[in-house]
Structure 1
Amino acid sequence: MDAFMIVLVATLLSQAGGRLSGFTERLVERTDRALPVLAGVMLAQGVLAAAAIRIGMLLAPQVTPESRSVLLAVALVLLGIGMMGRLPRPGSTFGSPRLGMFGTASLGAAVILLADSGLMLVAAAAARSPLPWAAWPGAMLGLLGALLPAILLGAREWRRLPWRAIRVAAGSVMILIGLIIVLSTNGLI
C-alpha cells in the first residue's frame, strides 16, 4: 500500500495547478464539455501509469532495495524541482481541437505527462513496493483530485488561487522528503 499512498499524494500535489490542470481547464473552457475532456486525460494517465508500473516491475529484480529507495528519492526531488518552475499561462495555447475533445485531451495529456517526471515516480514506487500495481489507482485518484477543482471551479476562480505559493511549498516538501529518504537509506539519519 506504500506505492498507493506515495503516488496518490505526489500526483495530487504535483499536478494541482500544473501544466496538465491548466491544459484541462482551458480545454473545458474552450469546448464547454467537461466529461469527454476528463475521460481523455484519465485514459492517457491510465495507459502511461500502467506502462511506468510495468517498467518499475522489470527494474525491481535488477537493483538492490537500497537502490530502489534512492531511485524513489531522486524521483521525488526531480518532481519537487519541476514544481518550482513556471506556471502555465492563462488563455488557450492551441487552436481548434481537430481531434475532437476526447482525442485532443488524450494526446495533449500524454505529451504533458511524458514531459513531467511524475511517471518516473510511479515507476520508482512500483519498483520499491511488494504490491506494484497499487500505484495505478494512486496515480488515477491523485490526478482526478488535481483536475476536478480546475474543472468545477471554472477558469476565473481556478486562476485566482495562489498556485505559485502552493506549488513552491509542495515542491519544497517533496525535495525534503527525497533528501530524508536518501539520508536514511545511507544510514546517515
Structure 2
Amino acid sequence: MEALVPAFLLAALTQLCDKPAMLTAILADRYGRPLTVAITAGIAHATLNLAAALGGSLIGPMMTPNARALLLAMALIFGALGAAGSNRVKDRLDGWKLGAFFTPLLGVLILAFGESTPFFTLALSTGGQPWFAAAGASIGTFGVAFVAALLGERTWAAMPWRWLRILSGIGFLIAGCWIGVNALRLT
C-alpha cells in the first residue's frame, strides 16, 4: 500500500505538463467526446503502468535494497530531465482515421511509452507492491487525462505549466540525488 500514494503523486505531477495530456486535450476537441477520449487515454496509461509493474515484480526480487533505491533515484533524475523539455505535441495525429476510441488509445500509448511515469512505476514496483504502484500511477494519469479532455486544447495550453515543470523538475532532481547518494552510501 505504501507504493500507491507516491506513484499517484509522481504520475500526476509528470502528466500535468507532459505531452500525453496535451494530446488528450487535442483529441477531445477534435472528436467532441471528452469522456471517451479520457477513458481511452486512461486505458493506454494503465496498460503501460501494468507492464511496468509486471517488469518491476520480475526484477525486484533479484535486486538489493540499495539497487532498488538507485533505480528510483535514476527514475527521478530522468523525470527531472524530462521536465526540462516541452509539452508541445509535434504530431496532432491528423492523418489518423481510427475514431474517438482507437486514435487516443494508440496515440497516447505510443506517446507515453517513453515518458517518465512508466519508469516511476517500474522503480516503485521493485519494492514489493507492484500492483499498488500500477494502480496509483494509473489513477494519477487518468485524473490528469480526464481534466485535460474536459478543458480542451485551448484552455489546457493556456495553463501556466512552465512553472510547474520547473518546480517539479527541481524537486525530482533533489529527491533523485538525495536517494542516489544514500543508495551509494556516500553520506
TM-score normalised to the size of structure 1? 0.91
Partner of 2:142: 144
Q: Is the 8 A contact 2:25 2:151 kept in 1?
A: no
Partner of 1:4: 4
Could you give the per-residue CA deviations for residues 120-145 of structure 1, whole angstroms, max 9, x where no partner exists? Answer: 211110002x3221112101111022
What secondary structure, in the 3-state scheme, does the structure 1 residue paired with 2:3 have? helix
What is the correspondence of 1:17-166 to structure 2 with a 5 Å cutoff?
Answer: 17-89=17-89, 93-128=92-127, 130-166=128-164
* 1:115 Cα deviation after fit: 1.7
- Equivalent residue pairs, number: 187
Question: Over aligned residues, Cα RMSD in angstroms?
Answer: 1.7
- Structure 2, unpaired ranges of 5+: none
* 1:149 Cα deviation after fit: 2.7
Alpha-carbon separation, structure 2, partners of 1:120 and 1:156: 29
Could you give the per-residue CA deviations for residues 4-47 of structure 1, whole angstroms, max 9, x where no partner exists? Answer: 12211111010102100110000001111012211211111112
Q: Is the 8 A contact 1:87 1:164 kept in 2?
A: no
* 1:96 Cα deviation after fit: 4.9
Q: Which moved more, 1:114-123 or 1:73-82?
A: 114-123
Alpha-carbon separation, structure 1, partners of 2:89 and 2:54: 34
The percent of aligned pairs where both chains have the same amino acid is: 30
* 1:89 Cα deviation after fit: 5.0
Could you give the per-residue CA deviations for residues 104-162 of structure 1, whole angstroms, max 9, x where no partner exists? Answer: 0110011011121321211110002x322111210111102222332232333222211
Q: Is the 8 A contact 2:41 2:108 kept in 1?
A: yes
Could you give the per-residue CA deviations for residues 72-105 of structure 1, whole angstroms, max 9, x where no partner exists? Answer: 1101110111011022159x72225411111001
Q: Is the 8 A contact 1:44 1:110 kept in 2?
A: yes
Alpha-carbon separation, structure 2, partners of 1:154 and 1:24: 8
Could you give the per-residue CA deviations for residues 44-71 of structure 1, whole angstroms, max 9, x where no partner exists? Answer: 1112211111110110121211001100
In the superposition, relative to structure 1, how do residues 148 and 40 fare at CA in structure 2: closer, same or farther (>3 Å)?
A: closer
